[in-house]
Amino acid sequence: MAKQFPEGFLWGGATAANQFEGGFHKGNKGLNIADVLPGGKERLEILGNPGFDFEIDPNKYYPNHDAIDFYNRYKEDIALFAEMGFKVFRTSIAWTRIFPNGDELEPNEEGLAFYDRVFDELIKHGIEPVVTISHYEMPVHLVKEYGGWRNREVITFFERYAEAIFNRYKGKVKYWMTFNEINSGLMMPIMGLGFAIQKEADKYQPTFQAFHHQFVASAKAVKLCREIMPEAQIGCMIIYAPVYAFDSKPENVMHALEEEELFNYFCADVQVRGEYPAFINRYFKEHNIELEMEDGDLDILKEGTVDYIGFSYYMSRTEKKDKSNEEGIQGNIMQGVKNPFLQASDWGWEIDPVGLRISLNKLYGRYEVPLFIVENGLGAYDKVEEDGSIQDDYRIDYLREHMKQMGEAIEDGVELMGYTSWGCIDLVSASTGEMSKRYGFIYVDKHDDGTGTLERKRKKSFYWYKDVIDSNGENL
User: Segment near ligand BG6 (CB under 6 A), from 67-75, 219-227, 402-410, 425-433?
Assistant: 425-433
Helices (H) and strands (E) in the chain, counts: 16, 12
Contact between 178 and ligand BG6 (CB under 6 A)? no
Three-state SS at 463: helix
Q: Which residues of 241-254 are buried (b: 16+ CB within 10 A; e: fewer)?
A: bbbbbbeeeeebbe
- Cα 92 from Cα 374, distance rounded (Å): 12
Shortest separation between residue 122's beta carbon and ligand BG6, angstroms: 20
Closer to ligand BG6 at the Cβ: 188 or 476?
188
Closest separation between CB of residue 86 and ligand BG6, Å? 18
CA gap 142, 252 in Å, rounded: 41
Q: Whose CA is closest to 52, among 239, 205, 193, 209?
A: 193
Name the maximum alpha-carbon separation found in the chain. 65
Chain positions 215 to 274 lying near ligand BG6, rule: CB under 6 A, are: 239
Q: How far is CA 148 from CA 93, 153, 170, 195, in A?
A: 18, 10, 28, 6
Smallest distance, ligand BG6 to C-beta of residue 209, A: 23
Q: Which is nearer to ligand BG6, 33 or 210 (CB)?
A: 33
| Cβ neighbours of residue 389 closer than 8 Å, sequence gap 6 or more | 459, 460
Q: How far apart are CA 149 and CA 131, in angstroms?
A: 21
Q: Could you say whether residue 379 binds ligand BG6 (CB under 6 A)?
A: yes
Q: Is 162 in the site for ligand BG6 (CB under 6 A)?
A: no
Q: Are 291 and 317 in contact (CB under 8 A)?
A: no
> Which region, left, alpha or beta, applies to residue 43 given φ > 0 means left and ψ of -120 to 50 means alpha?
alpha
Smallest separation, CB 412 to ligand BG6 (Å): 25
CB 305 within 8 A of CB 269: no
Nearer to ligand BG6, 147 or 348 (CB): 348
Residue 192 sits in the site that holds ligand BG6 (CB under 6 A): no
Among 422, 443, 462, 465, binds ligand BG6 (CB under 6 A): 422
Which one, 150 or 437, has the nearer CB to ligand BG6? 437
User: Does residue number 355 form part of the binding site for ligand BG6 (CB under 6 A)?
Assistant: no
**Separation between Cα atoms, residue 125 and residue 3, nearest integer Å:** 28
* Nearer of residues 43 and 255 to ligand BG6, judged by Cβ: 43
Interface segment toward ligand BG6; rule CB under 6 A; list 94-102, 221-229, 279-287, 424-432: 424-432
464, 463, 422, 466: which is closest to 440 by C-alpha?
422
SS3 90: strand
The minimum distance between CB 16 and ligand BG6, in angstroms, equals 5
How far, in Å, CA of 210 to CA of 59, rounded? 32
Helix axes 460-470, 70-84, angle to 10 degrees: 50
Task: Name, in order, each residue with C-beta under 8 angstroms of 297's C-beta and a sequence gap of 6 or more.
Answer: 212, 216
Shortest distance, position 437 Cβ to ligand BG6, whole Å: 5
Q: 317-319 and 416-422 as β-strands: parallel, antiparallel, unpaired?
A: unpaired
Closest contact distance (angstroms) between CB of 429 and ligand BG6 is 4
Of the two residues 168 and 395, which places its CB atom closer to ligand BG6 in the complex? 395
63/148 with CB nearer ligand BG6? 63
CB of 446 to ligand BG6, least distance (A): 14
Residues belonging to the active site = 375
Asked whether position 429 contacts ligand BG6 by CB under 6 A, the answer is: yes
Closest contact distance (angstroms) between CB of 467 and ligand BG6 is: 25
Binding mask 14-33 for ligand BG6 (x = CB under 6 A): --x--x--------------
Q: Is 180 in the site for ligand BG6 (CB under 6 A)?
A: yes
According to the binding rule CB under 6 A, does residue 181 interact with ligand BG6? yes
User: Of the listed pieces 210-218, 297-305, 351-359, 426-434, which binds ligand BG6 according to CB under 6 A?
Assistant: 426-434
108 vs 432 by CB, closer to ligand BG6: 432
Which of residues 191 and 210 has its CB atom nearest to ligand BG6 in the complex? 191
Asked whether position 430 contacts ligand BG6 by CB under 6 A, the answer is yes
Do residues 176 and 259 lie in contact, with contact meaning Cβ atoms separated by under 8 Å?
no
- Distance of alpha carbon 222 from alpha carbon 159, whole angstroms: 10
375 sits near ligand BG6 (criterion: CB under 6 A): yes
Residue 101 phi/psi, 5-degree rounding, is: -100, -20
The one among 43, 213, 220, 437 contacting ligand BG6 by CB under 6 A: 437
**Residue span 309-348 as binding mask against ligand BG6, x where in contact by CB under 6 A, dash where not:** ---x------------------------------------
Taking the C-alpha atoms of residue 158 and residue 151, their distance in angstroms, rounded to an integer, is 12
Q: How far apart are CA 44 and CA 39, in angstroms?
A: 9
Interatomic CA distance for residues 239 and 177, integer angstroms: 13
Taking contact as CB under 6 A, which single stretch among the options 75-83, 143-151, 283-291, 430-438 is the one that binds ligand BG6? 430-438
> Would you tell me which residues interact with ligand BG6 (CB under 6 A)?
16, 19, 180-181, 239, 312, 375, 379, 422, 429-432, 437
